[in-house]
Homo-oligomer: A and B are copies of this chain.
Amino acid sequence: MSQLPGPAEHLKEETLSSQELLRGNFLHALRDQVRLPDGSQASREYVRHPGAVVIVAELPDGRYVLERQWRYPLHRAFIEFPAGKLDAGEDLLACAQRELREETGYQAREWAYAGPMHPVISYSTEVIHIFFARGLEAGAPKLDQGEFLDVFPASLEELLAWSRDGHLTDGKTLSCLLWAQNLRSGLWPLTWTDRV
């Protein structure tokens, strides 16, 4: 049986004050003054993020729906599972269904929630909720203005080989592949629900 570490109160950092550093069109950054466990003080700078979803959508032939998108900060295209930010107040599953439909055109009959992952625990509040989808029906994507991406199918074996060889390095997609590999082998079962 796995034994999780106990309470973490001895590591806790308490907020003393919070200051807005940047309110951009996309980036929202803050600097908080905190009290450390030994009573001393430090500042913590971080990005506030609304949260996001990522969708591992399985085609009838067992392959998954992938995207390739230009990621400007790194000046190159990345292979990734479809993903997108939560709108204010949006339900997680509704967001996953919307993003899959808008970016790839696919609608799925069955959905399963795998869990959350945190891509940047050192400087962002972002959480990405991992969904699996199956029973796909193809349709037409509805990309946002200025959004350009390729949609293509890939097998689990291909995706794992690309990850091993450094062609697939996106963190959320690697986290999803840990799920996909263990779902396929039967180790990490999911609870599927029909779309209402």
State how many copies of this chain the complex holds. 2
Give bound CA distance, A171 to B11, whole Å: 21
**A68 at interface by CB-CB < 8 Å:** yes
A3 to chain B, nearest CB (A): 7
With both beta carbons as reference points, the residue of chain B lying nearest to A159 in the complex is identified as B2
Binary flags per residue of A151-164, CB closer than 8 Å to B gives 1, else 0: 01010011011111
Give bound CA distance, A75 to B34, whole Å: 11
B171 touches A68 (CB 8 A): no
Give bound CA distance, A4 to B172, whole Å: 19
* A4 CB contact (under 8 Å) in B115, B160, B162: B162
B4 touches A118 (CB 8 A): no
A70 touches B27 (CB 8 A): no
Task: Identify the stretch in A35-43, A93-101, A104-112, A133-141 within 8 Å (CB) of chain B at 4 or more residues.
Answer: A35-43
Chain A interface SS verdict (over half): mixed
With both beta carbons as reference points, the residue of chain B lying nearest to A122 in the complex is identified as B71
Binary flags per residue of A14-50, CB closer than 8 Å to B gives 1, else 0: 0000000110111101011010111010111111000
Binary flags per residue of A74-117, CB closer than 8 Å to B gives 1, else 0: 10111110000000000000000000000000000000000111
Q: List residues of A whose CB falls within 8 A of some B CB.
A: 2-5, 8, 10-13, 21-22, 24-27, 29, 31-32, 34, 36-38, 40, 42-47, 68-74, 76-80, 115-128, 146, 148-150, 152, 154, 157-158, 160-167, 169-172, 174-175, 177-178, 181-182, 187-188
Given A4-B162, A8-B70, A174-B175, 17 other A-B residues pairs in contact with their CB atoms under 8 A: A5-B79, A11-B149, A12-B70, A12-B77, A24-B29, A24-B31, A36-B146, A44-B72, A46-B73, A47-B47, A73-B122, A120-B171, A164-B182, A171-B172, A174-B174, A178-B178, A178-B181
